[in-house]
Amino acid sequence: MLRIALPNKGSLSEKAIKLVKEAGYKCRRWGKELLLVDSHHNIEFYFLRPKDIAVYVNAGFIDMGVTGRDLMIDSLVDLAELLPLSFGGSKFRYAVPNESTATGVKDFEGKTIACSYPNLVKKNLKENGVNADVVKLDGAVEISIKLGVANVIADVVESGRTLKEAGLKVVGETIMESEAILVSKDAALIEENEEAARFVQRLQGILVAREYVMIEYDVPKAAIDQACDLTAGIESPTVANLRDPEWCSVKAMIKNKSVNKKMDELSAIGAKGIIITEIKTCRL
């Protein structure tokens, strides 16, 4: 059986499970199960700590896993990124007290830095030629400065609200940007294992479908070239003649984020009956 690891908790867990379920796999947890078997697809889903997934995959105990890019790098393993999953986006940044005059990593020489990802921080310090002490904490990193544990923290920043509440500010460049990724020890897995390839294709289909919608409308033939330029589709739009010889119907995929702008532009050239339909999944 193909063994796939999903995060058992945290910000990545819910979205990872939702994505896999939408792709047609049985991975619904009723409690705190560590293993669910989808016998129809010959897959075992293991629910593991996000920080451990990269280690298990690297050791060969798990074939594929969903984890954060930051977690993978901090685990000091070199895995193949099979697919970025477009959720769990965050930035890893340094932060100091609001009254600090530090402006970036070069100001941290001889300082103590608290973080949950020590290997990632050490790598960044080395790249910048900075010597500093790194203290590993498993959580609540932002309180460490107030408690006198550290002068600086390095942490995952999403909205930045938690840092502001702790009286901290972000300084310097982003250490790294992260998101959820599907990984394996070897990219050749999807060439050698049919179910692994199908799993990647299905997830990709859901991710693409989330980016696009289907737009359909009627437009005067005199404006068809403008309409097709506005809704070019993936290859090209589908155009069909209507009973009225002066009109035709157009159907195409467009980016979800451009929907309202496209509708405005189509209306301006005389398009009527503009309909937007969500796409559940697709293959490009």
Per-residue pLDDT tens for 18-64?
A: 999 999 999 887 778 899 999 999 999 999 999 899 999 999 999 99
Per-residue confidence (pLDDT) for residue 134, from 0 to 100: 95
Question: Which tens digit of pLDDT belongs to each residue from 233-246?
Answer: 989 999 999 999 99
What is the CATH code for 2-86+179-192? 3.40.190.10
Per-residue confidence (pLDDT) for residue 164, from 0 to 100: 86
Amino acid type, 61: F
Closest to 120 in 3D by CA, of 155, 152, 149: 155
Residue 186 above 90 pLDDT? yes
Per-residue confidence (pLDDT) for residue 138, from 0 to 100: 86
* Parallel, antiparallel or unpaired: strands 272-278 and 35-38: unpaired
Residue 156 above 90 pLDDT? no
Both tokens assigned to 92? 């890893």
Which class would CATH give 212-278?
alpha beta
For 221, phi then psi, to 5°, come to: -60, -30
Per-residue confidence (pLDDT) for residue 11, from 0 to 100: 81
What is the CATH code for 90-178? 3.40.190.10
Would you list the domain boundaries of the chain? 2-86+179-192, 90-178, 212-278
Residue 166 above 90 pLDDT? no
Average pLDDT of the residues in 73-88: 93
Per-residue confidence (pLDDT) for residue 159, from 0 to 100: 65
Per-residue confidence (pLDDT) for residue 283, from 0 to 100: 83
Residue 102 above 80 pLDDT? yes
Closest to 112 in 3D by CA, of 157, 153, 172, 146: 153
Both tokens assigned to 104? 């970036």
Q: Say if residues 27 and 17 touch (Cβ distance below 8 Å).
A: yes
Per-residue confidence (pLDDT) for residue 74, from 0 to 100: 92
User: Tokens 């954060």 identify what position?
Assistant: 68
How does the average pLDDT of the chain come out, rounded?
93
Topology agreement, domain 2-86+179-192 and domain 212-278:
no
Average pLDDT of the residues in 166-175: 90
Amino acid type, 89: G
Alpha-carbon Rg for the chain in angstroms: 24
Per-residue confidence (pLDDT) for residue 19, from 0 to 100: 96
The three-class DSSP label of residue 16 is: helix
**What percent of the chain is predicted at pLDDT more than 70?**
99
Closest to 78 in 3D by CA, of 6, 183, 179: 183
Average pLDDT of the residues in 119-131: 94
